[in-house]
Amino acid sequence: MDNKTLLLFCFAAYIVLMFVISHLTAGKNKNKTGEDFNLAGRSVPLMLIIGSAVATQVGTGSSMGATGFAYTNGWAAVLYGLGMAIGISICGKLFAHTRTWEVNTMSEEIGVYYEGNKWVMNLVTIGMYLASVGWLGAHIVGGGMYLAWLTDIDVTSARLIIGVIVALFVLKDGYGGVTWIASAQAVILFVGFIILAIASFNTVGGFEGLKAAAPEGAYSFLGLDKLNPIHAISIVCAEIMAILAVPSFRQRIYSASDEKSLKTGFYITGLISLSFCFIPPILGMTAYAHNPNLDQVNYAFPYLAMTVLPLWLGAVALISGLSATMSSAAGDASAAMNIMVNDVYKLVFGHAPQEEKVVMLSKMAVSISILAALVGTLTAEDIISYITSMVGLLITGQAVAGVMGRLWPRATWQGAIAAIVGGVVGSLCFQYISVMNEMFGYAVFPSMLFATAAGIVVSLMTPKKSLSEAQALELIKSQRGESTRTPQVAQ
């Protein structure tokens, strides 16, 4: 048995283990209702909140992306983990209370802040569904890269394999199964990355070896001698904005067993993310020390696994990396499913689906969402690049609208739309005005400034809200209840 065959065998055994874990845990649940299938019956305990959140935090960007960033920028890659730790802590602090509302999606939550306004809710629905599919596609690309690089499978086949497996993760036992699988993956990837960091660290002679081989300025505190400080702050803010708007984290809030467990789980996840953030820089700088001439910085992680480390550590790298990407992909697939069956269906047909059809429609929704992501990745990577850039255009404005509605009673639905549009305008200005590009490095600052200014100005220019949050929540729930009556009652 050659090395590539052995790695494929390890991958197959790992996938079987994940399905066994799902079957022995969530598989005993009957998933009779849509709430059971999409939100695990709103009963996800503290342990699974932490496990699934950690698995998503250490996803494609935090493993492959941050390691590649560290290859040229050294300790600056710590900023990714720092931003994630701050972001999830803020998310828990500001939005954990929405668990008691028993809303289904982020669209419904933001609707509560803005009088149940359909324009706002529909805009959030479209933006968040596109974001979920875009992220899902990015994770499929990342998982496919891991599998192709380490096993010599062609890239197209690798992406198809990852997409099908992620679909089966969700289809088998719904969101309950996803939380159990993600929690198991969190343990595997966390332990695996620690082993990889220690092993690779020793190959260059420890910190002295890293320092001697690092690019100029990369070994400084947070890489600030190499990275513009404003660019560094932008990285942190971009991670915070992403977590405040990403649908998969909101799904964890709505599915948690209670508000206290959710808040505690998010705070603990923040601490774990903070402790993990030092691992990608070690891996990236180690790869640079061994080979400073890699054609692609994202190849830093698989280069270590295939060239520097022994075979058994290559297997650890494969399983750890795939755990990171596939757990994130399953989370985004679940979020896309939840949004499609609760919000997109209502947007298209004018009413929510009948309760007895929700599970079937949810399975169709996750299949369609993964198929859409796969088509994008298989036909042209430029499509996925386009979608993910659109995510960047949408995400900051949506985050600002959510925070503004949560913290500022004077915020109006017109202001929310202005904030979302302002975020897009700010991102476009950044892309096409070279001075802003050079100054900020990333679109998040211009997007935040435009979104916040537009949201505040338009809110002050428009009438105050006439409905309280309690009244808006009652309105949203009554609309949901009226539209899910049985056909006999509707007649």
pLDDT digits (tens, 9 = 90+) for 54-112: 988 876 566 677 888 899 899 999 999 999 999 999 999 999 999 999 999 999 999 99
Residue 324 lies in a domain: yes
- Whether 105 and 339 have beta carbons less than 8 Å apart is answered as yes
> Which residue range is the domain that position 36 belongs to?
3-384
Distances (CA, A) of 410 to 24, 245, 458, 464, 465: 49, 21, 11, 6, 7
d(CA 65, CA 320): 14
Residue 51 lies in a domain: yes
d(CA 23, CA 20): 5
Q: Is 12 left (phi over 0), alpha (psi -120 to 50) or beta?
A: alpha
Distances (CA, A) of 29 to 26, 342, 395, 431: 6, 21, 35, 48
Residue 439 lies in a domain: no
Total domain count for the chain?
Answer: 1
Whether pTM > 0.85 for this model: the answer is yes
pLDDT of 484 reads: 40
Half-sphere exposure at residue 98, Cβ-oriented, CA atoms within 13 angstroms:
29
* Run of H or E residues at 249: helix 247-255
Task: Give the domain CATH number at 151.
Answer: 1.20.1730.10
Cβ contacts of 346 within 8 Å, gap of 6 or more: 352, 483
Residue 396 lies in a domain: no
**Dihedral of the CA atoms 189, 23, 339, 84 (nearest 10)?**
-20
- Whether 136 and 373 have beta carbons less than 8 Å apart is answered as yes
Residue 435 lies in a domain: no
Residue 212 lies in a domain: yes
d(CA 138, CA 387): 9
- Whether 189 and 34 have beta carbons less than 8 Å apart is answered as no
d(CA 231, CA 234): 5
pLDDT of 417 reads: 98
- Whether 333 and 136 have beta carbons less than 8 Å apart is answered as yes
pLDDT of 206 reads: 87
Amino acid at position 11, single letter: F
pLDDT of 388 reads: 55
pLDDT of 325 reads: 85
d(CA 409, CA 335): 28
Residue 484 lies in a domain: no
Residue 453 lies in a domain: no
DSSP letter (8 states) at residue 297: G
∠ CA 478-482-485, rounded to 5°: 140
- Whether 18 and 169 have beta carbons less than 8 Å apart is answered as yes
Q: 38 exposed, middle or buried (CB, 10 Å; 0-12, 13-18, 19+)?
A: buried
- Whether 239 and 396 have beta carbons less than 8 Å apart is answered as no
Extended strands (E) in 166-320: none
Helix or strand or coil: residue 256?
Answer: strand
pLDDT of 385 reads: 56
pLDDT of 482 reads: 45
Tokens 């430029």 belong to residue: 382
d(CA 28, CA 172): 11
Tokens 């939100």 belong to residue: 39
Residues of the chain with confidence (pLDDT) below 70? 1, 30-31, 59-63, 379-391, 481-491
